[in-house]
Amino acid sequence: MARDRADAMAKGGRLGALVLLAGLAGCADADFAPFGRSGSAAPPDSLTVRRVLGEDVEPPPLLPEAGNVWPAAEAPARRLRIPTA
C-alpha cells in the first residue's frame, strides 16, 4: 500500500514537472508584444528615442488651438419617469 502511494506521488510529480515545463516554454519569447507586433514601439526618429540616445532635442512649442475646442453641450439625459419628490 505504501509502495502504491509512493508510485502515485512520483507519477504526479513527473506530471507536475511536465506541466510546469510546458507552461514555461511559453515564456521563451522575451519580446512579448500583444497582437503580434514584433517591431519597436517607438519610431527611431521620435523625440523619445533621440532623448534616450543623448541627442539635444528642441521640441516644437505648444501653441493654443484656434477656435472653440470644447465639445457641444450634451442633451439632457432621458429618464423612464419623472420623479415626483
Instruction: Tell me the pLDDT tens digit for each residue of 10-29.
Output: 666 777 776 766 666 666 55
Separation between Cα atoms, residue 61 and residue 47, nearest integer Å: 13
| DSSP structure class, residue 53 | T
Q: For residue range 38-79, list pLDDT tens digits in order.
A: 666 667 788 888 899 999 999 889 999 899 888 898 888 777
Q: For residue 38, how far is the Cα from the chain centroid? A: 14
Pick from 30, 12, 10: nearest CA to 20:
12
Handedness of CA 42, 46, 48, 53 (dihedral sign): positive
